[in-house]
Amino acid sequence: MTTHVDRIVRAIRDVENELAREVLAQQRRWHYRLERGGVWFAHEIEAGHAQLRQTIPAFLWQARPIHFLLIPIIYSLLLPLALLDAWMTVYQWSCFPAYGIPRLRRGAYFAMDRHKLAYLNVIEKVHCTYCSYATGLVAYARDVAGQTEQYWCPIKHARAIPSPHAHYHTFVDYGDAVGYHRDLPALRQSLRDARSGRHGREIESRENRKVV
């Protein structure tokens, strides 16, 4: 990475830390806590939520006809999503050990907590659970693919791409042939060192070796 890109990456991490602090503020603001793997509201808050829950007949009555027509298409994605889930898991459990890359913890990507909200009816809870699974799975697959890309082809693209994965900014510049052959071993090693906390030091060391 150039010094400028390194500053951008640090700024992104600062923003991520700020978002984490906002999550803690959100817990205080809406009076819930995380304990024993679950979400817990104060009894009076949960009772107030239940009073705001829309009944099933009212929910269906307000739905647009197009919503009913599109439901089979939306939920038809469940099969390919489940196949992707299974295959990504098999892939990383078989290939990552061969590469020396620590396996990702699949469960960390799935936050199944919206069904705990008393102001949602059963249909809304089903929809929210499905959305949580789909977006969590895409994030999981993205990181598996991102680590694979860092191992085999850590080269930036010639043009800017929207919302690249977390590893992308550490890749070698497009067209930097010397840098690619020089830095590939360090980029692979940084994946192996990710769990030991040595990733940042490895990247910094790689940067110090670059020719200005």
- What are the residue boundaries of the structural domains of the chain, listed by start? 3-209
Contact present, 14 and 22 (Cβ < 8 Å): no
Predicted pLDDT of residue 2: 59
Predicted pLDDT of residue 210: 43
Contact present, 115 and 125 (Cβ < 8 Å): yes
Residues recorded for the chain: 212
Handedness of CA 33, 27, 30, 126 (dihedral sign): negative
Burial 12-46 (b: 16+ CB within 10 A, else e): eeeeeeeeeeeeeeeeeeeebeeeeeeeebeeeeb
Predicted pLDDT of residue 186: 94
Give the separation between CA 13 and CA 195, rounded to whole angstroms: 18
Predicted pLDDT of residue 145: 95
Phi then psi for 40, rounded to 5 degrees? Answer: -130, 125
Burial 59-78 (b: 16+ CB within 10 A, else e): eeeeeeeeeeeeeeeeeeee
Predicted pLDDT of residue 195: 58
Predicted pLDDT of residue 201: 40
pLDDT in tens, the chain (212 residues): 557 667 777 777 887 788 888 888 888 888 888 887 788 888 888 899 999 999 999 999 999 999 999 999 999 999 999 999 999 999 999 999 999 999 999 999 999 999 989 999 999 999 999 999 999 999 999 999 999 999 999 999 999 999 899 889 899 999 999 999 999 999 999 998 875 554 444 444 444 444 33
Predicted pLDDT of residue 37: 73
Tell me the one-letter amino acid at 106: R
pTM: 0.79
Which ranges in the chain belong to alpha helices (H)? 3-29, 43-51, 56-62, 65-76, 78-99, 122-152, 177-192, 199-209
Predicted pLDDT of residue 50: 92
